[in-house]
Structure 1
Amino acid sequence: MTQAKSGIEGRTDGRQDILDAAEAAFSEAGFAGASMKAISLRAEVAQGLIHYHFQTKEGLYAAVIERRAHWITTARLTLLDRIDLGIPDATAQIFEAFFRPPLGPEGGGRVFARIFALLAVGDARDQALVERLYDPSARLFIDALSSARPDVSRETCVWGYSMALGLLVGAVGRSGRTERLAQLPPDSADDTEALIARLTCHATGGFEALCEEARA
């Protein structure tokens, strides 16, 4: 049996081990199905250390979501800050900045993808986490769209953002359905750059169509 980590070294390094193990467990079994005991065994730490750092399973789940949200949001806002909102293709750059981090290293790959997808349609606990951790940056992206297209209402920009989020939720899991429907070999469409380009094209075209409709 693997010996549980303990002592000062465990309390220093164990927190990240716990978060990594919990992220994998919540991805595989959901919040209800992931037990603290299973997470402690996976992280190779004493279960008491999880309670020391996070108190409850709810606290641990929130910490998992918060860690990943911090990485995604920081990368998104770094990209967003670099965009000249006055150039013709500003909206495409805004959507690319929105899509790239969740699909890159910051997004956690397929492990966090299952959690990320469920957050958008989750229960009151998930919705509270989304409101706290993602809504502030969402408003900044909507502000950017409004600056890039000052000729349309903020409501139109909110719809553009919301539909881009729907595209992301549908794509982030990379379940293999696209390949199956296209009769392609498994993972043949698993190209991050190509996926980002397709999503950006779709979101930009849809948003521009909304803008034209709103101005008609």
Structure 2
Amino acid sequence: MPAASTPHFSTKDRILSAAEALFAEFGFVGTSLRQVTSRADVNLAAVNYHFGSKDNLVAEVFRRRMDEMSRARLEQLETARQQSPGALEPVLRAFIEPALALSLERDGGAAFVRVLARAYAERNDRLRKFLSDNYGHVLREFSRAIAECLPQLEKESLYWRLDFLAGALTYAMADFGLLRRPDGDEPMHAQRAADELVAFAAAGLRAT
């Protein structure tokens, strides 16, 4: 039985990987299902069987990466709260490090970062609602944790600064900065990026 189900899953993964690469290159509106089926070497019936619609395919591209990242963030946050209660930097590391780790994934991590950037840039209300419904709780949990560390910070200022942090993190994940990621030393570069972004974010969040 398990052997018979293997092609079933590999077909789904091929479709997801093809869609992810195409969304990164052409955007959500600019990518057709015909392009996806051509790159994945499947027919349209396979896409309909696994996903039902293009909107569902977009959602599953995000689920494949963000479910694991969200789990890692919340687990690291729980550890930070237990081991360093009231400390801001461990909370920020819990938010930043899993995201930078995702960008290093060999099987499409860089492509997904571009997909994520497009989700911010393109006006797609359905996608934004999906992301809010499924991952908004992660941001709310971090908002509460940061508010506990900085009780003097007004809620509106906190939300502004978290928006800036999310933007800076997406920029760092995409490797758009002046300091390019060196070939062969990506983990060390990502750790340096995390260290610098934690220090930057902590200073910004503490600013009066």
The normalised TM-score by structure 1 is 0.80
Corresponding residue for residue 201 of structure 2: 203
Structure 1 counterpart of 2:109: 109
Percentage identity across paired residues of the two chains: 27
Instruction: String of CA shifts for 1:9-31, please: whole Å, max 9, x gaps.
Output: 43233212211221111111111
| More displaced 10-residue stretch of structure 1: 159-168 or 75-84 | 159-168
**Pairing partner for 1:91 from 78, 88, 105:** 88
Aligned match of 1:62: 59
Question: Cα RMSD over matched residues?
Answer: 2.4
Number of equivalent positions: 197
1:120 is aligned to 2:120: yes
Structure 2 residues without counterparts, runs of 5 or longer: none
The answer to which structure, 1 or 2, has the higher relative contact order (CA under 8 A, 6+ apart) is 2
Residue type of the partner of 2:201?
A
Q: Residues 152, 32 of structure 1: CA spacing in aligned structure 2 closer, same or farther, 3 A cutoff?
A: closer
Amino acid at match of 2:35: A
Paired residue for 1:75?
72
The equivalent of 1:35 in structure 2 is: 32
CA distance in 2, matches of 1:12, 1:121: 31
Q: Is the 8 A contact 1:26 1:34 kept in 2?
A: yes
Confirm or deny that 1:193 pairs with 2:194. Answer: no
Cα shift at 1:64: 0.7
2:81/2:91 contact within 8 Å kept: no
Contact 1:91 1:145 in 2 (8 A): yes
3-state DSSP class of the match of 1:32? Answer: coil
User: Between Structure 1 and Structure 2, whose CA radius of gyration is higher?
Assistant: 1
User: Residues 168-190 of structure 1: CA distance to partner in whole angstroms, max 9, x if unpaired?
Assistant: 12222113x414xxxxxx54496
Provide the rounded CA distance (Å) in 1 between the counterparts of 2:89 and 2:202: 5
Paired residue for 1:138?
139
Q: Is the 8 A contact 1:103 1:109 kept in 2?
A: no
Counterpart residue type for residue 91 of structure 1: L
CA contact (8 A) 2:18 2:39 kept: yes
SS of the residue corresponding to residue 122 of structure 2 reads: coil
Q: 1:153 to 1:87 in 2, by over 3 A?
A: farther
